[in-house]
Chains A and B, each alone.
Chain A
């Protein structure tokens, strides 16, 4: 993988998301910038509630009512998605950018057959006839390793195991060979063996189709298995971003190091010695501490951390972090 190889495929540019209720605005995602190169896998990690899902929904403008993009831009191959008409963004959804979700149990509609739900994508984006789309649905299921797909297409989601349902979701998402796949915690709801199989499947498909992936997880270990680059999110902000090997060898943000503690490490002595568990809870949006958002939980917080917000700085080739400790070291 090369750095800065031309303009990014997908560019998230100082994106902010607000919740608006009863005239009050709460910022949930705060000026997040991320770049995804063609064919690359970008991992997005952070504890539950840090805004990973909102960030991913906003790309396809799937935010629920009450949430809105408050600033910034999202561009696919240079063209802005945030101000596209509803009709044009629809033509992109499931076609150029698709999504899979955390809960395969509820993400498929219980009252339609699996075949119908996969075929819909072909009918919508490729204008295929019912019969043609049904045949393509069988092929699509075969591609993601669903056994006897010609029988599966006639079944309902309730007849399938969690792993099979997630395969169906993947088949649906990749049906139109999108340029970008957004996977929001695709394996979190699955048990360990199935999780490994699904990860393996995604890696294989990514190699074959060259799809760029935004892979979201709260588990840094899972992200490490699939991602080329990793962005660490805390309270709606990117606090650290680096290629995966660099991040694991040289984590600069105390939060990143805290997340790594939760990951079984093959070579634990590489880890810096100052680590403690991440203590405390994620602050609620709207009740964020002043200064650095992480300082109440940070093992190395100093005076400056409580009063002013660290800027994002470059600490290595393609390695960025927002932490006073790193700033001072430079």
Chain B
């Protein structure tokens, strides 16, 4: 198991280096920030001076190595506009984004798993059809619209929940629900189909033949096997949640990284975009590392293979 973890950690480091190179190169291709930082009528000498000052006239490889070296020491440079340290700017907002992603996922799973399991057990009945249609409704509603509707109902009409901002648990309910609902259909259908497949397996029949009660046959023997593909999907969706929260963060004035990135892109604020992409990618890679380890726990054959190699 330990060597499995070490191997996965090694992969993770390689992936992070890859991400840093790619995000660096793409930003190079996206244009020069100096034009935006100086007034329209700046002389070409002023432009050259600023480029030199920012190190933008060095060879690209140099710029990257400088970036990577500093990043290793926790220094992601400074914002070209506010001059604040990038690492600080992002870390200030990262917890909010991760928190929102986490609760959105939790919201989706708490609803989707029972729906998926019950639909599989009651396949072909009205319960099955109804819950699948219900889940599809969630998928087909744009989440910014859902968010606005929720604010109108729960904040404006009923006054139960705060409209925006971050703070108490009450603040996170609506943004998490608005983001989570679109994933309910995905996870419910995945759970239903893997559960159906698992329920037809011989070992489920064996569990029944042993006289185990239904909650053990379904909740233990079938569920643990059915969760393996679901865990994979959780890891993949988590990345989308981290990067795709921009709209919901805007609707609910959620102080996350998404809004920071959008602003930085519009400003061509290189260091901020790069740093944010890097950190989000790292969180994503870490989550997938956790997913991998969860695999080892769910499916002994995975970790065994890791060991024997």
Mark A residues whose CB is within 8 Å of B.
57, 60, 62, 64, 90-95, 98-99, 101, 103, 106-113, 120-121, 124-125, 156, 158-159, 169, 172
Do B203 and A110 have beta carbons less than 8 Å apart?
yes
CB neighbours of A60 from chain B (8 A): 208-209
Do B211 and A91 have beta carbons less than 8 Å apart?
yes
As a 0/1 sequence over residues 260 to 280 of chain B, the CB contacts with chain A under 8 angstroms (1 = contact) are 000000000000000000000
Q: Does B11 contact A (CB under 8 A)?
A: no
How far in angstroms is the closest Cβ of chain A from B211?
Answer: 4
Q: Does B61 contact A (CB under 8 A)?
A: no
CB neighbours of A125 from chain B (8 A): 211
In chain B, positions 144-172 with a C-beta closer than 8 Å to chain A are none
**29 pairs, CB–CB < 8 Å, chain A vs chain B:** A62-B205, A64-B200, A90-B211, A90-B212, A94-B209, A94-B211, A98-B209, A99-B209, A101-B205, A101-B206, A106-B201, A106-B202, A108-B203, A108-B206, A110-B225, A111-B224, A111-B298, A112-B221, A120-B212, A120-B216, A121-B211, A124-B211, A124-B212, A124-B216, A125-B211, A156-B300, A158-B301, A158-B304, A172-B206
CB neighbours of B213 from chain A (8 A): 90, 124
CB neighbours of A112 from chain B (8 A): 220-221, 224
Do A172 and B210 have beta carbons less than 8 Å apart?
yes
Q: Does B207 contact A (CB under 8 A)?
A: yes
Q: Does B58 contact A (CB under 8 A)?
A: no
Mostly, the B contact residues are helix
Determine which of B203, B211, B224, B301 lies in contact with A93 in the assembled complex, contact meaning CB atoms within 8 Å: B211
Q: How far is the CA of A98 from the CA of B205 in the complex (A)?
A: 12
Q: Count of chain B residues with Cβ under 8 Å from any Cβ of A?
A: 23
Q: Does B299 contact A (CB under 8 A)?
A: yes
Please name the residue on chain B nearest to A92 by beta carbon: B211
Q: How far is the CA of A158 from the CA of B216 in the complex (A)?
A: 22
Q: A109-B225, A111-B224, A158-B304 are in contact. Are A98 and B210 (CB under 8 A)?
A: yes
CB neighbours of B207 from chain A (8 A): 109
Q: A109-B221, A110-B299 are in contact. Are A93 and B208 (CB under 8 A)?
A: yes
Do B206 and A107 have beta carbons less than 8 Å apart?
yes
Q: A94-B211, A109-B221 are in contact. Are A156 and B206 (CB under 8 A)?
A: no
